[in-house]
Amino acid sequence: MNRWQVRRNRETILKDAASVYPVRLADFDKDPYLYNCLNGTLDLRTREFRPHSPADMLSIIAKVRYIPEARSELWERVIWEAMQGDMGKIAFLQKAMGYGLTGGTAEECFFIDDLHLNVEAARWCGMRAFHYQNDISRLRAALREAGIPVASER
């Protein structure tokens, strides 16, 4: 019989390990901005890619390799067309989608756009969104309802 098959042996080994380096399960995977890939860890805040480190306390690993020079022509074309080639809007949308994908709330987001399709995409990413249709009073009401301070009307 293998020694790992004996419960007493497993319990002894786990107790010994816990006394040397006590860690709670809740201590793992606390930072939603660390993305653990097969070939290292990507910090989504800084875009720094580094070797795996036990100090990161990550227990989950994505089944992908990070390749910084990789491109997706389809993604770039869709974003280019949706944002009509406006680089400022493209950068904003990618950042906003990143917030939605990580579930991060450190940077609260309220997405406003006049294109219904963009508003629906923002909602799909988990953002609060408003479809602006040239009605400033409706926009102010939506902002107030969301708890966002609104400048007084002139």
- For the segment 107-134, what is each residue's pLDDT rounded down to a tens digit? 677 889 999 988 888 887 777 889 999 9
Confidence (pLDDT) at 67: 94
- Among 139, 147, 138, 152, residue whose Cα is nearest residue 108: 147
Cα distance between residue 119 and residue 127, in whole Å: 9
Q: Alpha carbon of 114 to those of 13, 36, 84, 94, 118: distances in Å?
A: 61, 37, 13, 18, 8
Confidence (pLDDT) at 1: 61
Q: Is 130 helix (H, G, I), strand (E, B) or coil?
A: strand
Instruction: Outline where DSSP puts E strands in 13-148.
Output: 34-37, 40-43, 49-50, 110-113, 128-131
Rounded to an integer, the average pLDDT of 49-56 is 95
Q: Residue 15 burial by CB count (10 A; 0-12/13-18/19+): exposed, middle or buried?
A: exposed
More confident call, 87 vs 109: 87
Domain boundaries, the chain: 3-56, 73-145
Predicted TM-score (pTM) of this structure: 0.53
More confident call, 24 vs 4: 24
> Is the model's pLDDT at 68 over the cut of 80?
yes
